[in-house]
Amino acid sequence: MRTLAILDKLKLCVASRNATLTSRASSPPPLTDVTAIVGLPASSKTATEASTASVSAVPTNTRPCNGYVEFCNRRFSNISMVVAHNSPFVRPHNAASNQVYPVLDQLNNGIRGLQFETHKPNESSAIRLCHTSCDLLDLESHPYEVIAIMMGNNNDQKTRIPASDYVIPFQEAGLIRYLWTPPAPTLNLTEWPTLAEMILKNERVVVMLDYGTNQTEVPWLLDEFDYQWETPFSPTDPAFPCTQQRPPNQPEEVSRNRMYMLNHNLNIQVSLLGQSILIPAYSLLDEVNAVSGNGSLGLNVQHCEQMWNRPPNWLLVDYYNFGNFNGSVFEVAAVANNVTYKRGSCCGSETSSKATRGAYNLFVLLLFFVCSCLGM
């Protein structure tokens, strides 16, 4: 499916907080929206009283940004958010799928990072997703949310897709006006804007590409590894090391001053039709996405925080709705952010989740049985 098909509804997702603001995106936002995000003065003292009083407390905002009022005045680089690995790849009972819910549900449940691969079958074709279609995003219902789109560029292929080829899909989707453009070709942790600043400017979508960018030509398409780094990709080790893998050979002092993504999606290797492929470790998902325990996301975040003196910015997971309870991955992020997660706000009922887990586990068992019978 064309990347455009993934993006065409995204303009609704990043549409302004109302029709008026959409028609004048460059105008200052309504005062009520500004005060709701950045807060009102905490004191109502007279001028005489204020001249002799101590400095007032920091104003308190009332409008949540990315789900929490505490986030509005935090920098984009100072928040841990959950990323749906291969977010549009939703195929029931498919061994290579990575999510249960479509992207719209992912956003409603609290996902703030969408990750997927892009492919271009030949020079004359449009960019295509290597996975599948999805009904994308209704951020019109999330006007105070900032999200990231992280794309892979023709990975495992001989050539990369030119950066300029990504422009048309975003233009035709009506997204260009909502994309955030960085002020410099690389940023350290203290140079990112706050969520409130991005929301008030209506620049609420950060787009990154792993390879093949050209920020002189396409300034909003960020070179991922000039802004953040990643732990080992497609991990098969349940210990989930916190070491840096991409980009290779980056000095530690640079890594310590940039955002980073924790790849916490456990894979197993199977042989199918003469090819070796990685599929999610379905039977271990509840433990892998759990708040605590060996191999859990919670423990992995703790280890990485100890190693790097700060938690990961991005927690990339498969099947985010699985875990030791529905939404456990979001509680891990909340703990890292020093906020409180409201249990029961995510991902359907426990009964339906258990049924889905059982169906996926059965499918994988059948897959292994077929592979064994065929001598693969």
Residue from 345, 325, 361 nearest 105 by CA:
345
Tell me what pLDDT residue 137 has: 46
Compute the distance between CA of residue 86 and CA of residue 316 in angstroms, rounded to an integer: 9
Q: What angle do CA 336, 340, 344 make, to 5 degrees?
A: 115
Structural domains of the chain in order of their starting residue, each with its CATH number: 3-14+65-268+285-349 (3.20.20)
- The pLDDT of residue 23 is 38
131 as an active site residue: the answer is yes
How large a percentage of the chain has pLDDT more than 90?
Answer: 52
Q: Is 303 a catalytic residue?
A: no
Give 55-91 pLDDT, tens digit per residue: 445 557 789 999 999 999 999 999 999 999 988 767 6
273 Cα distance to chain centroid: 33
Gap between the Cα atoms of 301 and 226, Å rounded: 23
Lowest model confidence (mean pLDDT) among 80-94, 142-156, 252-266, 323-337: 80-94
pLDDT given for residue 370 in this prediction: 47
Please identify which of the residues 85, 119, 142, 264 carries the catalytic annotation. Answer: 85
Measure the CA–CA gap between 105 and 223, rounded to whole angstroms: 28
Write out pLDDT tens, residues 4-57: 555 654 554 444 333 333 333 444 456 666 767 776 554 444 444 444 444 445
Q: Catalytic residue, from 119, 131, 142, 264: name it.
A: 131
